[in-house]
Amino acid sequence: MLPSDGRFAPSPTGTLHLGNLRTALLAWLFARSQDARFLLRMEDLDTGRVRERFYDEQVRDLGALGLDWDGPVVRQSDRLDRYGDAIETLAARDLVYECWCTRAEIREAASAPHGDLPEGFYPGTCLRLTGAERAARRAEGRPPALRVRAGAASVTFEDEVAGTVTGAVDDFVVRRNDGAYAYNLAVVVDDAAQGIGEVVRGADLLDSTPRQLWLGERLGLPAPRHAHVPLMLGEDGARLAKRHGAVTLADRAALGETPDDVRALLAASVGLSEPGEAVTPAELVARFSPAVLAPRAGAAR
Ligand SMILES: [Zn+2]
């Protein structure tokens, strides 16, 4: 079994809100409670949305909360060679193909009669192109995306929080038509390269895990364990968002709350402390067990 080294991997596209901070705190607690390494990685491949100021701001907010990490903060944008190598490996194994579909075409095909695909699943249009059709599209000069040839595979894994999860794997994109490497590729390559044994992240990413496990296996990489932790909810029961009001450290500071107060709030929200109880990061490490996140019987996931 891989060591329990963990990571938090935010995208520097905005200010971290309480939900992001709670996921970071939990990822840190999983690792530190097992005396494992904890790494920080910036997932900054979506260059259209990344803003330089958020790198420093996110690092500062995580530090203010009392989290620490091993080694320098890694940026995916510094690691493009590795993703290119992974694409070459997939191509050499005949596991990728070119796709010229627009988003509208994919939506249309998925909603066609007989189109009973799960939402967002690629219907395989470009896999069925003839050699002549493919040559014609290449001649048009519009660059294609690259998709994996997954053949509607199904992957089952044990999640440390969600339990047994089975998910279908469609022909997902590994390199976009603008040349950007896809999240699902980069995360698999990086987690393996960085020796991550336990991926702790928000439950909103649970659906992407079957794809990533499928891809890692095709690339010959060891599979990390997974723990998809519950998302923080607003008072109305919806997933926490900006519209819920004071959701960033800066917002809370404006209300007179220190980062220690916010850490106490986040800890109490998962039952690691009493409401209003001051609690240090070290105390939380001593108290933490993944069992605090076990879904209650009958609770909706
Ligand atoms: Zn296509």
pLDDT tens across 158-167, in order?
999 999 999 9
CA angle 60, 61, 66 (to 5 degrees): 95
Question: Cβ(5)–Cβ(36) under 8 Å?
Answer: yes
How remote is the CA of residue 151 from the centroid of ligand 1, in Å? 14
The strand pairing partners of 8, in sequence order, are 40
* Residues with CB in 5 Å of ion ligand 1: 99, 101, 125-126
How remote is the CA of residue 48 from the centroid of ligand 1, in Å? 23
| Phi then psi dihedrals of residue 222, to 5 deg | -70, 145
For the chain, what is the mean pLDDT? 92
Question: Cβ(39)–Cβ(6) under 8 Å?
Answer: yes
Residues in the chain: 301
Residue 172 has pLDDT above 80, yes or no: yes
What pLDDT sits at residue 229?
A: 96
Average pLDDT on 137-154 reads 93
Average pLDDT on 33-49 reads 96
Ordered structural domains, the chain, with CATH: 81-175 (3.90.800.10)
pLDDT tens across 73-111, in order?
999 999 999 999 999 999 999 999 999 998 888 877 767
Residue 283 has pLDDT above 90, yes or no: yes
What pLDDT sits at residue 294?
A: 73
Residue 296 has pLDDT above 90, yes or no: no
How remote is the CA of residue 126 from the centroid of ligand 1, in Å? 4
Residue 14 has pLDDT above 90, yes or no: yes
How remote is the CA of residue 69 from the centroid of ligand 1, in Å? 41
Other C-beta atoms lying within 10 Å of the C-beta of residue 173: 20
pTM score > 0.85 for this model? Answer: yes
